[in-house]
A and B are shown apart, each in its own frame.
Chain A
């Protein structure tokens, strides 16, 4: 409208008024961000500098005498086996529990169940370890025997069956229970936030409750479930005490889940070996810790990537 008139002086660019509250908040937020980065960098620098001697040491000096790769390799395998097994068991269970609590259970039962599951997270991992050793392992022995008899064509169940049950399989199941609360709590949260608008759209089209969940709840909650699963995976990868107590480890690289000889995991191996380690042995353990750090980093980056891949369709817009 002003186009026909003589050009008017452009208004002075409004100078943002910076109120003290804003400034303090922005400053402290920025400070916290920087602080976290510094801590992370510090941990990484420590790990790298302490691991370096193990990387350069001659292979005879590394515990086991065959070099760093053959020392850490089986530990990586053990770490991944236990954590992935836990994830595969826990995720569907957690999603089922979360859906039951949010969309099926009567309100009272839902509240109680949610509370009980959250309580699982409050149990210290030492307790899980002893429970796994004293209760879960013996209970699972018959399954180990059965699996060795019937499923031995699958490398994971090659056998021979452990008679104590202190196997990677038992560890995986105990870890699954330990990470269940994290995954189910986050899934529950995102499922309950699935917009009523879209749930009603599905119901109004004649969807049953389960179809409504498939159309409007699961797609909406997917990235949250993935995020929860990755948090759970992170916990399972790093879990130390429970694994150290339950697993009869120390054997080389094998994917056999049910025998007495299992690869140990990085975290439990560090805990068990650290007290007696000296010299390059310490550096080797720290190098394995660095590998665990990298694995966790990659897992988190993968999770981000999965979550962002279909951001267009995520419903966030």
Chain B
């Protein structure tokens, strides 16, 4: 079930440091939204505030609203653990659990909700999720090997399998391809195109061609200087951002990179 996310007046802090200021954006279900911008402008910080992963760091906090299908995720009665079960995340560096087998990695999230999963159900779910992540054929003969025995690209797809196995409403990806070779990158981009039929996807990428290839909407983050908060400068359909952006800063950034 893909869901819409509405962010309003979001300020994100690390202790007293305002890292991201005043984000207003609406993220469409069943589409890919890309976030681009120079490093340090707060893309990861913003992404992690959507599933309340930001606040696991000591002193980190958020002001403003993130509403998913009418519910404020930062409401007083909302448990961040439940938010994270609905909003999956794939990190920049592949992070399968090294102490678990490939199969156990895939269903690690499901085991949290359902300790006594039947063996056959678990096996079905492992296969379905690995197929969903285009990894099944490569690992079906070694499901009991450690997840860390795979290549980087395979590990990242394993992490995607793990994230989609719990059927989240939204999938957040923070530069999921930056540690991967071009072939693995293409495999993951193809996968994203399939996954957006079922999930709302938000991807941070430093690779503008990637943003242009995969996303429907693109947000450009920027900051005025070191120590200043990052801001969402422009949010528009990807085609528009890359052909005729509203903001001069967006155009400079994009042309500078392509240039």
Interfacial residues, chain A to chain B (CB-CB below 8 A): 107, 195, 197-198, 200-208, 211, 215-216, 219-220, 310, 312-315, 317
Instruction: Confirm or deny: B108 has a beta carbon within 8 angstroms of a beta carbon on chain A.
Output: yes
Q: Are A198 and B112 in contact (CB under 8 A)?
A: no
List of B residues within 8 angstroms of A203 by Cβ: 53, 56, 84
Instruction: Confirm or deny: B209 has a beta carbon within 8 angstroms of a beta carbon on chain A.
Output: no
A310 to B81, CA, bound (A): 31
Mask, B62-93, CB within 8 Å of A = 1, is: 00000000000000000001101100110101
Q: Which 7 A-B pairs have the closest CB atoms?
A: A206-B85, A219-B99, A315-B98, A205-B109, A204-B89, A206-B84, A197-B95
A45 to B93, CA, bound (A): 53
Q: List 20 A-B contacts (CB under 8 A).
A: A107-B58, A197-B95, A198-B97, A201-B96, A204-B88, A204-B91, A205-B108, A205-B162, A206-B82, A206-B84, A206-B113, A206-B166, A207-B81, A215-B100, A310-B99, A313-B98, A313-B100, A314-B98, A317-B98, A317-B146
Instruction: Confirm or deny: B148 has a beta carbon within 8 angstroms of a beta carbon on chain A.
Output: yes
Most buried by A among B85, B88, B97, B148: B97
Task: Count how many chain B residues have C-beta atoms less than 8 Å from C-beta atoms of the other chain.
Answer: 31
Q: Are B148 and A201 in contact (CB under 8 A)?
A: no
A197 to B97, CA, bound (A): 9
Mask, B133-172, CB within 8 Å of A = 1, is: 0000000000001101100000000010011001000000
Q: Are B109 and A200 in contact (CB under 8 A)?
A: no
Instruction: Confirm or deny: B200 has a beta carbon within 8 angstroms of a beta carbon on chain A.
Output: no
A314 to B148, CA, bound (A): 10
Contacting residue for B112 out of A205, A312, A313, CB 8 A: A205
A215 to B101, CA, bound (A): 12
Q: Are B81 and A220 in contact (CB under 8 A)?
A: no
Q: Are B95 and A198 in contact (CB under 8 A)?
A: yes
List of B residues within 8 angstroms of A315 by Cβ: 98-99, 148
Known contacts A315-B99, A315-B148; is-contact A201 B91 (Cβ 8 Å): yes
A197 to B58, CA, bound (A): 16
Instruction: Confirm or deny: B31 has a beta carbon within 8 angstroms of a beta carbon on chain A.
Output: no
Q: Are B89 and A220 in contact (CB under 8 A)?
A: no
Instruction: Confirm or deny: B218 has a beta carbon within 8 angstroms of a beta carbon on chain A.
Output: no
Instruction: Confirm or deny: B205 has a beta carbon within 8 angstroms of a beta carbon on chain A.
Output: no
Interfacial residues, chain B to chain A (CB-CB below 8 A): 51, 53, 56, 58, 81-82, 84-85, 88-89, 91, 93, 95-101, 108-109, 112-113, 145-146, 148-149, 159, 162-163, 166
A206 to B109, CA, bound (A): 7
Give, as a whole number of angstroms, the nearest-CB distance from A212 to chain B: 9
Most buried by B among A197, A198, A205: A205
List of B residues within 8 angstroms of A204 by Cβ: 51, 53, 84, 88-89, 91, 163
Give, as a whole number of angstroms, the nearest-CB distance from B172 to chain A: 9
List of B residues within 8 angstroms of A208 by Cβ: 81
Q: Are B84 and A205 in contact (CB under 8 A)?
A: yes
A262 to B148, CA, bound (A): 51
A26 to B106, CA, bound (A): 45
Known contacts A197-B93, A204-B89, A205-B112; is-contact A313 B53 (Cβ 8 Å): no
Known: A204-B53, A205-B163. 16 other contacts (CB 8 A): A195-B95, A197-B93, A197-B95, A200-B56, A201-B96, A204-B84, A204-B88, A206-B81, A206-B84, A207-B81, A208-B81, A215-B97, A219-B99, A219-B100, A314-B98, A317-B149
Q: Are B97 and A219 in contact (CB under 8 A)?
A: yes
Q: Are B112 and A206 in contact (CB under 8 A)?
A: yes
List of B residues within 8 angstroms of A216 by Cβ: 97
| Residue ID in chain B nearest A315 by CB atoms | B98
